[in-house]
Amino acid sequence: MRKPKLWQQITYQVALAIIALFVLLPILGMLRIALDGTIKSVPTEFRLLPKQFTLNAFIHVWEKPSQSLSLLGLLKNSLFVSGGAALLSVVFGASMAFAFARFRFPGRQTGLFSLLVGALLPPVALMTPLYILLSAIGLRTTLWGLVIVYTAFSMPFCVWNMRSSFQAVPKELEEAAFLDGASYLTTFIKVTFPLALPSIAVAALLAFLTGYTEFAIGWLFVESSSNVTLAMAVSGIVGQSAGYGWPNLSAIAILTCIPVVVLFLTLNRFLMRGLLVGFTE
C-alpha cells in the first residue's frame, strides 16, 4: 500500500481533530455545567472551566435522580432490560442466522425478506401487536415485557448482521469438525461462533443500546414506578428541566453514559474487527 503524502497526512489529522472536537465539546460542556456550583438553574455565561468546583450535582442525582428510585435502582432496571435484550438477541438471533446461512429449506427467502421488512419498520408499528401479546401472557407491565419488546426491535438487524458473518466462515472448517465426530451444536460453539465473534459483538452492542436508550415506547409497557429505567427517568427530568436545574441534568446525563463507555471499551477489540470486515484484505 502506498504511503500517504505529507499534505494528505496533515489533512487527515486536521479532519480527525475537527471530528474529535465536534464529539468532545458537548461532553466537556456538560461536565463543566455539572461541576460549576455557581449555576443554580440555567447557565448565563460561557466558560471553559467551572467558576466554583463542586460535586453537589453528582451527589444529588446519585441519591435521588427522580421521585421513584435511586440511581442504582434505575441503573439496575436499565441493565436488566438492555442486557436481557442483548442476550436474547444474540442467542436466538445467532441460531436463526446460522440456519439461514448454512441450510436450505422451504420459505427461506420469504423469511429473510420478512426480517428485512421488520428491520425497516419503525418501532411504533410494532406497539399494538406487542401490547396485545404481552397483555395476553401477563407480562406487559413487567421488566421481562420490556426485554421482549426490545429484543423484537433488535432481532432483525442482529440476524442479518450475524448471517453475513456466518457465511464468511469457510465451510471446510465445519466439515473438518464433522469428520472428527463433532455435532452441529459442538461445531457451532467451538468453530463457527468464535470466528464470527466480532460481528456478534457488534450485534450485541447495538441490541444493548436499543434497550438502554429507548424510553418513548417503554412508557406504554410500564405502570409501576419500580420498573422505570434510567432512560425513562432522564426523559422525565428533561420535561421538568426548568425546575430540576441544568447541573443536575448534566450530571445524570454523564452518569448515564458511563455504562455504555465501559461496555464499548470492554468489547473494543471485537468491535473494531467486526466493523472492519470487508475493508481489510
**Domain membership flag for residue 264:** yes
Whether residue 244 has pLDDT greater than 70: no
Cβ neighbors of 196 (< 8 A, separation 6 or more) are 162, 165, 166, 168, 169
**Cα–Cα dist 93/144, whole Å:** 18
**Domain membership flag for residue 31:** no
Placement of cell 435522580 in the chain: 65
Overall pTM surpassing 0.75 (yes/no): yes
The x, y and z cell numbers of residue 257, run together, are 453514559
Residue 133: give the domain boundaries: 76-275
Length of the chain: 281
**Domain membership flag for residue 255:** yes
**Domain membership flag for residue 160:** yes
Task: Give the 3-state secondary structure of residue 145.
Answer: helix
**Domain membership flag for residue 28:** no
Percent of the chain with pLDDT over 70: 92
Query: Which of residues 13 and 271 earns the better pLDDT score?
Result: 13
Task: State residue 147's pLDDT score.
Answer: 92
Whether residue 250 has pLDDT greater than 90: no
Residues forming a β-bridge with 53: 36
Task: Give the 3-state secondary structure of residue 141.
Answer: coil
Q: Domains in the chain: how many in total?
A: 1
**Domain membership flag for residue 210:** yes
Query: Which of residues 274 and 2 earns the better pLDDT score?
Result: 2
Kindly state the average pLDDT of the residues 158-169.
86
Q: What digits encode the pLDDT tens for the residues 4-61?
A: 777 778 888 899 899 988 888 888 888 888 888 777 777 777 777 778 888 888 888 8
Do 164 and 199 touch, CB atoms closer than 8 A? Answer: yes
Whether residue 81 has pLDDT greater than 90: yes
Task: State residue 280's pLDDT score.
Answer: 40
The x, y and z cell numbers of residue 122, run together, are 419503525
Query: Which of residues 110 and 269 earns the better pLDDT score?
Result: 110
**Domain membership flag for residue 266:** yes
**Domain membership flag for residue 233:** yes
The x, y and z cell numbers of residue 68, run together, are 421513584
The CATH number given to whatever domain includes residue 152 is 1.10.3720.10
Q: What digits encode the pLDDT tens for the residues 175-201?
A: 888 888 888 788 888 888 888 888 888
